[in-house]
Copies of this chain bind each other. A is one copy, B any other.
Amino acid sequence: MAVDYVLAEKANDNTEVSETNAVDALMVLCRNDLNLVNALIIDRMDSAVPMIPQVASYLINAGGKRLRPLITLAAASLCGYQGDDHIKLAATVEFIHTATLLHDDVVDESELRRGRASANTLWGNQASVLVGDFLFSRSFNLMVEVGDLKILDILSTASSIIAEGEVLQLASSADMSTTRETYLQIVASKTAALFAAASRVGAVIAHQPDRQEMALKDYGEYLGIAFQLIDDALDYSGKQAALGKTVGDDFREAKITLPVVLAYEQGTPEEKAFWKRVMEDDQQNDVDFDQAMSLMEKYHTLDATFDLAREYGDKARKALIHLPSNDYRDALDGLIDFCIERDY
């Protein structure tokens, strides 16, 4: 199977890499490791059942940024790790992430993912559920091969927390009584838990003391929260073309994210009634999205969401202080700005 993963090719070829952003910079820094991770991913998503690599590679090669495995690689190298188990851990993390995406698309009934038809649109919900299960199982195979019980505990616990967060999000959808606390709990679980685990295992595999392990965990967690806050703001920010998503997906799916929670909290009784109608009663007409946008502008809730993301970015940056200063730490620091400033 050809590795047509475009960013890996970019990283392969020294001359073509321009350090236009922090992810590219991180890729250059970790490029040998990243190539090994990509090769391992291709190898381990293979199966005698052809539908599995078909569906899995469609998603895995779809131009994702490999953000989570890059964090694992950088965290391990930052801590001076010299072995090769971080390759397996990085692939584990990407498999967990990809399994989650496959199941998310079924849950959200998404038709698009990263600008292309989603896997469930092409192969059906059944294939998405089952290939997701396969990748999830393979992720456990990989981490078992590493054979470190502490790492197994961290990653299997993260998986439970992710699933819990996804269910909480489902239970809170179309429910305007969702508080900002519940929203943040969803974000911390469904998104930040994997960032935190991806980062933390880099320290564990390098046998670092607790302080550094916890610093990397905190970095990942805060970065993950900032990342998701930006995602949720971008869903309303009008720069959707680059995101490869339909504009206003969250609105139409009645997903209650922070920009909506904040507008509802501050809303007049009439405005609250509007939010309840469009979010809870599944009654949206052509002008409702514009009305929602103008209410979010009225209360500056997108700005507030971006501001909160910056606060979490600052926390992530402070966590890095406890770690050795080197190129990898600088790259992880740069990643914070990337996650916050990105417009896709």
Contacts and interface: CB of A to CB of B under 8 A. Distances in A.
Given A47-B164, A131-B167, A137 B156 contact: yes
Interface residues of A, number: 39
A160 B137 contact: yes
A50 interface: yes
Interface in A244-283: none
Nearest to A152: B144
Interface string A103-118: 1001100000000000
B167 A51 contact: yes
A6 interface: no
Contacts of A1: none
Task: Name A's interface SS.
Answer: helix
Interface in A208-265: none
B136 A171 contact: no
A103 B138 CA distance: 17
A3 interface: no
A98 to B, nearest CB: 13
B129 A164 contact: no
A164 B134 contact: yes
A141 B156 contact: yes
A126 B147 contact: no
Q: How many copies does the complex hold?
A: 2
A270 B273 CA distance: 64
A141 to B, nearest CB: 5
Contacts of A49: 164, 167-168, 171
Contacts of A312: none
A253 to B, nearest CB: 11
A127 B103 CA distance: 11
Contact of A133 (B127, B131, B144, B163): B163
Contacts of A149: 144, 147, 149
Interface in A141-161: 141, 144, 147, 149, 152-153, 156-157, 159-160
A147 to B, nearest CB: 5
The 6 closest A-B pairs by CB, nearest first: A134-B163, A137-B159, A137-B160, A140-B156, A133-B163, A107-B126
30 contacts: A47-B167, A48-B164, A49-B164, A49-B171, A50-B171, A51-B167, A51-B170, A52-B164, A52-B167, A103-B129, A103-B130, A107-B125, A107-B126, A126-B170, A127-B167, A127-B170, A130-B166, A131-B163, A133-B162, A133-B163, A134-B163, A136-B136, A137-B159, A137-B162, A140-B140, A140-B159, A141-B153, A144-B156, A149-B149, A152-B152
Given A107-B130, A144-B149, 16 more contacts: A51-B170, A52-B167, A106-B129, A107-B126, A129-B129, A130-B163, A133-B136, A133-B162, A133-B166, A134-B160, A138-B160, A140-B140, A140-B156, A140-B159, A141-B153, A141-B156
